[in-house]
Amino acid sequence: MAPLVKTGGLADVAGSLTSALASLGCDVRVVLPLYGDVASQLPARRSIARMQLRDRNVEIFEASAPQGQRLWLVACPPLFGRSGSPYVDADGTDWPDNAERFALLSRAIVWLATHPTETDFRADLVHLNDWQTGLAAALLSRESSPPPTVFTIHNLAYQGVYDRATFDLLGLPPDLWSIDGLEFHGSMAFIKGGIAFADRITTVSPTYAAEIQTPEFGRGLEGLIRHRVSSLRGIVNGIDTSVWNPTTDTLLRARYTATNLDRKLVNKRAVQAQLGLVPSDAPLLGVVSRLAHQKGIDLILSLVDALVSLPAQLAVLGTGDPAIERSLRNASAQHPGLVAYHPGHDEALAHLIEAGADIFLMPSRFEPCGLNQMYSQAYGTVPVVRRTGGLIDTVEPVSGRSGTGFLFGPATPDALLEGVRNAVAACRNRHTWRAIQRNGMARDFSWLNSAQQYLELYDELVAPPVPR
pLDDT tens sequence across 34-52: 999 999 999 999 999 999 9
Q: Which fold has domain 261-444?
A: Rossmann fold (3.40.50)
Q: Is 315 exposed, middle or buried (0-12, 13-18, 19+ CB in 10 A)?
A: buried
382-386 and 406-408 as β-strands: parallel, antiparallel, unpaired?
A: parallel
Which parts of 141-263 fold into alpha helices (H)? Answer: 164-169, 190-197, 206-211, 215-218, 222-227
Mean pLDDT of 286-315: 97
pLDDT confidence of residue 467:
64
Using an 8 Å Cβ cutoff, are 189 and 225 in contact? no
CATH of 9-238+448-462, one of 3.40.50.2000, 3.40.50.140, 2.10.109.10, 3.40.50.620: 3.40.50.2000
- Under the banding of pLDDT at 50, 70 and 90, the label for residue 468 is low
pLDDT confidence of residue 335:
98
pLDDT tens sequence across 207-250: 999 999 999 999 999 999 999 999 999 999 999 898 999 999 99
Distance CA 304, CA 311 (A): 11
Q: What is the dihedral of CA 450, 451, 456, 458, to 10 degrees?
A: 130
Distance CA 51, CA 32 (A): 16
Distance CA 211, CA 222 (A): 9
**Phi then psi for 59, rounded to 5 degrees?**
-125, 140
Residue ranges per structural domain of the chain: 9-238+448-462, 261-444
Q: Is 347 exposed, middle or buried (0-12, 13-18, 19+ CB in 10 A)?
A: middle
Using an 8 Å Cβ cutoff, are 439 and 404 in contact? yes
Residue 437, pLDDT > 90, answer: yes
Mean pLDDT of 371-396: 98
pTM of the model: 0.93
The fraction of the chain above a pLDDT of 90, given in percent, is 94
The fraction of the chain above a pLDDT of 70, given in percent, is 99
Fold match between domain 9-238+448-462 and domain 261-444: yes
Alpha-carbon Rg for the chain, nearest whole angstrom, is: 23
Residue 443, pLDDT > 90, answer: yes
pLDDT confidence of residue 90:
86
pLDDT confidence of residue 405:
98
Q: Is 96 exposed, middle or buried (0-12, 13-18, 19+ CB in 10 A)?
A: exposed
pLDDT tens sequence across 257-277: 999 999 999 999 999 999 999
The enclosing H or E element of 297 equals helix 297-301
Q: Is 432 exposed, middle or buried (0-12, 13-18, 19+ CB in 10 A)?
A: middle
